[in-house]
Amino acid sequence: MLRMLRKIARTGVVTEAPPDSPGPVLESVGERLCATLVRRFAGCLAIRQVDAGSCNGCELEIQALNNPFYAIERFGVHFVASPRHADLLLVTGPVSRHMEAALRATYEAMPEPRLVIAVGDCGADGGEFGVSYASCGAVANVLPVDGVIRGCPPDPMQLTLGLLEVLRKATRGQA
C-alpha cells in the first residue's frame, strides 16, 4: 500500500496539454468544450459509442480519451453504457451490413434530441472498405449524421477538437 501511495505521489498529475504539441493545446480546447457543454447540455454530455464494423483502431484512440493525459471526463464528457442515457452517438465504421440493424436499434433507443458523429475515415466515407456486399460504407448511409471526425484513426486531440466543433455547429442558434 505504501509503495502504491509513493508511486502515485511520484507520478503526480500528468493531466495537461503536451507543451510541445502543435496547434491548440488540449486545455484550451477542453475549456471551450466545457463552456459549450455548460451552455447547451447543462454541463454534461453523455456519449454512447458504437463500433459498427471498424478495425478497432478508432476504439483504441477513443479509449485513450479516458487516460490520465486527456481525462475527457473533467470537461463533462462521459461515456455511458446505455443508449437510453446518451445525448450523442459516436459511431466508428464502416457500417458492416451485419451491424446495420444493431446500429439502427441503438439510435432508436436514444432519447431526442440526439446527435450522431461518424468517427474515422471509414465512418466518414467507407475508407479502405467502401461499399460492398458486406459493408454499407459511411455512417451517413445508415443514420442522419451531424458531424464527422476524420482520421485513420483520429488521435485523442483530433477527437476532442472534432467533438467541440460538432457540438458548436449543432447547437448554434439555440439559447
Question: Does position 104 bind another protein by CB under 8 A?
Answer: yes
What residues numbered 24-83 form the site for another protein, per CB under 8 A?
49-64, 66-69, 79, 81-82
What residues numbered 105-134 form the site for another protein, per CB under 8 A?
105-106, 127-134
Written as nine digits, the cell of 89 is 452517438
Task: Please list, in sequence order, all residues whose beta carbon lies within 8 angstroms of the beta carbon of residue 169, skipping any fewer than 6 positions away.
Answer: 146, 147
The answer to whether the CB of 123 falls within 8 A of the CB of 154 is: no
Determine the Cα–Cα distance for residues 114 and 105; give it in Å rounded to an integer. Answer: 14
Question: Does position 13 bind another protein by CB under 8 A?
Answer: no
Radius of gyration of the chain (CA): 17
Question: Does position 150 bind another protein by CB under 8 A?
Answer: no
Determine the Cα–Cα distance for residues 12 and 89; give it in Å rounded to an integer. Answer: 34
Q: How far is the CB of 174 from another protein (least distance, A)?
A: 28
Q: How far is the CB of 124 from another protein (least distance, A)?
A: 14
Residues listed for the chain: 175
Q: How far is the CB of 98 from another protein (least distance, A)?
A: 4
Binding site for another protein (CB under 8 A): 3-4, 7-8, 10-11, 14, 18, 49-64, 66-69, 79, 81-82, 94, 96-102, 104-106, 127-136, 152-153, 155
